[in-house]
Amino acid sequence: MKRNDLIVLGVLTAVLVVGIAMLLIQRRVPPGIEQQHITPSEAGYHGREEARNDEPHTTVYWVSIDGLRPDYLDRAHTPFFDFLRETGAYSLEHEPVFPSVTFPSHVSQATGVTVRQHGIPANRFYDLETGELHSYPGDSRLLEAEPIWTTAVRQGLRVASLGWVLAHGQTGDHVADFFDPEFPRGLPNEERLGRLLDLWRGDEDPGDPLRLLMGYAVGPDSPGHRHGPESDEVIAAVEEIDAILGRHYEEIVALWNERRSPPDAFYFVLTSDHGMSEVHTLVHPGRLTGLEDSDDAILVSVGPVLNLYLDRALPSDERERVLRQTLTRLEDYDFVRAHPREELPPEWGYAHPTRTGDLVVTLPPGYTFSGKPEGITLSAEEGDGPFGMHGYAPADDPNMTTVAFFHRHPAPLGGTDLGPIDSLQLHPTVARLLGISPAPGTTGEPIEFNDIK
């Protein structure tokens, strides 16, 4: 072979190698950030190539809006939420699990079990067994209970889940057909929800259609923390998400209508993870417990809940001494409740053996833990917020109550008020809509509608 031919061959080989490398990098981009339409190859497709049968199919499109308190809907102009109330089945008395914070609440909705069973006690937590501190964790292997996306895939359905807590980076035998490699941070709500719709639109798989699609939006949670639940900023955020959802719903239904067979049904499910309460006092966790500079304890607080983990290198009698000493100190503060793990209220379902603290300290509504006080407490006004918080036990604070909406197309559910429901009912309810069995270990009963078609 001539020298010039060798040069040309080398250049072509280099171009081919670079092209393959760029393709592999592109496939690691979370779907929808750069691509207008999502295809299986762009989103890390894990699906199956099975032909659709002629049986009726139900599709469930489940969206979570963070921090949506029921009374916001009456204070804001919300034509889409009004539409869901008038034509669907809904609850403005949706009770979250304890603690009513984003990670445990979303995981309980997806798994149908409490913290004690699923193992995600807060947005940040320590594991006494592994010695690891997890902060807004992205590893789905931390789940100790089966989520609905796994339940559905295990029973032969195709699933897409983008942005849902601990649904990214999936591993194992029954991963969703589409999922993010990690949580997509910093996206506006329009883009967050648009990514899921674009993925569905771009799914041209010749086999079964996607049957469960799950998405997430921040909603009024952030302005609720910054400005408080009574603020104008919260109402503006609610009206913004209402308008976004209304636009997306029209596109979602139009797309489903194009692809449906006559006997098929579609459910649009909209839920939230918690409400919000006003904050007037900030509490320093280290100075409250007297363990700020201690090498014997790890303090991890999220909102009004503090988990105190005692160093497992300490002899058991020394751990007991620190525990009792701390409990005695906390008796001086009438705004504090403290429970050793073994004495936690059973109705909380919070006593995970290694991820819940040896001591759990909780504050009443109006108080939250913060690193801002120079002493033990500081007013929220002096500390410049936060002016809103959640995480309180729903039985202690009705403001933790949130919402749930179920809308069926093309046969509406008639504007049915479901009354009180709880988060543990969502997994078995969605399983029932999809015609599959809930995961083993779920305890909630499916929510009863007037009928299910």
pLDDT average, residue stretch 339-347:
97
Q: Domain span at residue 421?
A: 58-277+398-434
Residue 171 pLDDT > 80: yes
Q: Does a structural domain hold residue 44?
A: no
Give the bridge partners for 115, in sequence order.
Answer: none
pLDDT category, 35, cuts 50, 70, 90?
very low
If asked whether residues 313 and 165 sit together in one domain, one would say: no
pLDDT at 27: 28
Tokens of 414: 């008639």
User: 3-class SS at 251?
Assistant: helix
For residue 99, say if its preceding peptide bond is cis, omega within 30 degrees of 0: yes
Question: How sure is the predictor about 18, in pLDDT bands with cuts at 50, 70 and 90?
Answer: very low
Distance CA 96, CA 402 (A): 7
pLDDT by residue (tens digit) across 174-196? 999 999 988 888 899 999 999 99
Residues 75-94 have pLDDT tens digits of 999 999 999 999 999 999 99
Confidence at residue 208, expressed as pLDDT on a 0 to 100 scale: 82
pLDDT higher than 80, residue 45: no
Q: Does residue 152 register a pLDDT over 80?
A: yes
Q: Is residue 47 part of a domain?
A: no
User: pLDDT at position 54, please?
Assistant: 60
Per-residue pLDDT, 105: 98
Q: Residue 160, class by beta-carbon neighbours within 10 Å (0-12 exposed, 13-18 middle, 19+ buried)? A: buried
- pLDDT average, residue stretch 137-157: 95
Domain assignment of residue 391, yes or no = no
pLDDT tens across 346-375, in order? 999 999 999 999 999 999 999 999 999 999
Asked, for residue 29, whether it belongs to a domain, the answer is no
Distance separating alpha carbons of residues 323 and 72, to the nearest angstrom: 41
Q: Are residues 341 and 421 in the same domain?
A: no
- Mean local confidence (pLDDT), 238-248: 98
What was the pLDDT predicted at 106? 98
Say if 390 falls within a structural domain: no
Task: Write down the H helix ranges in 92-217.
Answer: 102-111, 115-118, 148-154, 189-202
- List of residues 6+ apart from 393 with CB closer than 8 A: 98, 99, 100, 345, 348, 362, 400
Give dist(CA 434, CA 73) in Å, integer: 29
Kindly report which listed range (46-50, 113-117, 157-161, 406-410) carries the lowest average pLDDT score. Answer: 46-50
For position 350, which CATH number holds? 3.30.1360.180
Do residues 322 and 195 both lie within one domain? no
**Within a domain: 449:** no
Q: Is 50's pLDDT higher than 70?
A: no
Say if residue 301 is in the same domain as residue 245.
no
Lowest mean pLDDT among 14-18, 31-35, 218-222: 31-35
Determine contact, residues 393/275, Cβ cutoff 8 Å: no
CB 242 within 8 A of CB 220: no
pLDDT for position 38: 36
Checking if the pLDDT of 14 tops 90, the result is: no
> Does residue 444 lie in a domain region?
no
For residue 29, what pLDDT is reported?
Answer: 32
Q: What per-residue confidence (pLDDT) applies to 138?
A: 85
Q: Report the share of the chain in percent with pLDDT over 90.
A: 80
* Cβ neighbours for 320, distance < 8 A, ≥ 6 positions apart: none
What is residue 129's predicted lDDT score, i.e. its pLDDT?
Answer: 95
Same domain, 270 and 364: no
Q: Is residue 424 pLDDT above 70, yes or no? A: yes
CA atoms of 72 and 59, how far apart (whole Å): 29
- Decide if pLDDT at 433 tops 70: yes
Grade residue 262 by pLDDT with cuts at 50, 70 and 90.
confident
Do 284 and 265 belong to one domain? no
User: What tokens were used for 297?
Assistant: 């304890």
